[in-house]
Structure 1
Amino acid sequence: MIIKKFQVGLYSPLLGLCAIALVNIATPQARAEQPILDNLVQQAASKDQATSQQAIAKLRKYKNAGVEAFWKTYEKDLPNNSQLRATLDAICQQKDCDASRLYWYRDLDAAKMASKETGKPILSLRLLGNLADELSCANSRFFRTALYPNAEVSKLLRDRFILHWQSERPVPKVTIDFGDGRKLEQTITGNSIHYILDSEGRPIDAIPGLYSPQAFIENLKDAEVVARSLQDNNVNRREVLVNYHRDRYAKLEKKWQADLTRLRLPLQPLLPLAVTDPKASAALASRLTVSKMMVELPTLRRTVGEPLTELNPPSAFDKLSDANWARLASLDQNRVYLDQGS
């Protein structure tokens, strides 16, 4: 056994070098495309708008390869050049793409075709506003700055998912006029959701709102396992999905009760929140999206007419004070962190 371990140790560097060599050997198609990509990258960076727009459209046809070609060429220049960053954003169809380097489909049918060709599930983001704009809804701005740039998240998304986003409607905005020519424009409410879809566009799971990078990765990996199992067992699709979601709900309920018990808070079940009031306000919607409420609430307090304390209906979440929410958050603080990219 010792000899075998020693032999493996001797060959490990050689095996590593072989692996690196295999990764770096470009396919004939990639070698043939490289001069074309190099030329398109130069044209995309042109100050002539027509030339740039045509090159951007062509680079998008190369998908991730087009994104990588532009990023590698201008990696050192991007931080200090807003024009280059805007060009890369247009290629990716995502604001702040220099931090994440993710290619997004805008056409769901094209995303489904890519999913069928690659066997990868689709991650479809639905949001208010546009992911390529600065002022999309608050959650999507957090996605761009804290989630997608995370090294592990971006690698997982790039390698194992087909990315797609769709705007549901314009994002609500409020403008504050300071009276001296200065104006501050800010979004006030609007949630986002990531759907995991199969190659037919059918939902497998949904990740609503804002998650930490670590929790987001866990959810994606769980959904990916189910998506791949359904490729081989589509006959029992309904049964597989029902069991998957039942198990996930049971785990969430168990953790919720355990956290409440640890903090000696009154036990209350995690129940689905049914929205039955057609007159539900932006303020009520904001209170139901705890992860981003603190960003929007100060502005809402100054724009809504009714006192927030009188809003109904009460829920299990309404019974928790801000102090108790902070205590709950502290239980997982060692699992939530941002890397250098975030």
Structure 2
Amino acid sequence: MAARRVSLVTGGAGFVGYNLCHRLLSQGDEVICLDDMTSGMPQHVDELQRHERFHFLRHDVCEPVTLKVDRIFNLACPASPPAYQADPIKTVLTSVLGVRNMLELALANDARLLHASTSEVYGDPLEHPQRESYNGNVKTMGPRACYDEGKRCAETLLHDYHRVRGADVRVARIFNTYGPGMRTDDGRAVSNFIVQALAGEDLTVYGDGSYTRSFCYVDDLIDGILRLMELDGDHSQPVNLGNPHEIAIKELAELVLAATGSQSRIVHLANAVDDPKVRCPDITRATALLGWRPKVDIGDGLRPTIDYFRVLTGTVDTVA
């Protein structure tokens, strides 16, 4: 009988990591979740530990680790601005030292490594939509630089380990993602608006709300991540994973109000520092290489996300 594949998910107690662990368990993998719980959710670990093939290791990726694994999904790093700006030095080190340690682990195990990069490598883009060939417009200093530049440096390490030492790597540039499993204090637009609407509080929009984002439902993102990981051959070049349907932030706020039935108001705050004005992926490469396109539109994805937050915030006892 063939040995069961062992998949390591760093940051597995976070939003995307939790959903990825669920999917890997459902397809029969042995799953090791490595997380230092800086932004991971204990309830995610508690739920996942009901599976006999799930194993939790509390560990900081900035420190080396020795494990026997077949696949590594490197998702370790806070992804929301409030979380990664809370300790910017740690954010940079997690991106750089964490990736180095996971690359060394991959080489020791002859394992494939998929790294969760980000659309933030494009900065405040001058190209729209953003293709993987675009080098970006990123500030090396500022409140967002710890995340943006940390992720850019991580991609450099991945490329050099592949070129010099033959590491088998995949790079997913993940655009805005939402869905069940987010924190109430995540700090990103979808979760902020839903939590505010359910509480009857004002929905806070930075600036005039005309800046845009593209929101991908988490199930679609996991589909793309798994297709990229399982793709045979040399595919070390980055691949955008996101929903190319672009909407203004104020429009998102209005959709949340309609979907929740909230009577909350939309109020406007000063522009956030260095906040990109536009963000939309060109997914031509993902479609050609993986046969992948998102299936869930924002209206359909908001419903289960709102139901999840109703339960999490105690608005209802059970999901409708």
Pairwise same-fold verdict (TM > 0.5): no
Q: What is the TM-score normalised by the length of structure 1? A: 0.24
Q: Give 1 or 2: higher strand fraction.
A: 2
In our comparison, the structure showing a higher alpha carbon Rg is 1
Q: What is the TM-score normalised by the length of structure 2? A: 0.25
Q: Give 1 or 2: higher helix fraction.
A: 1
Larger relative contact order (CA 8 Å, sep ≥ 6): 2
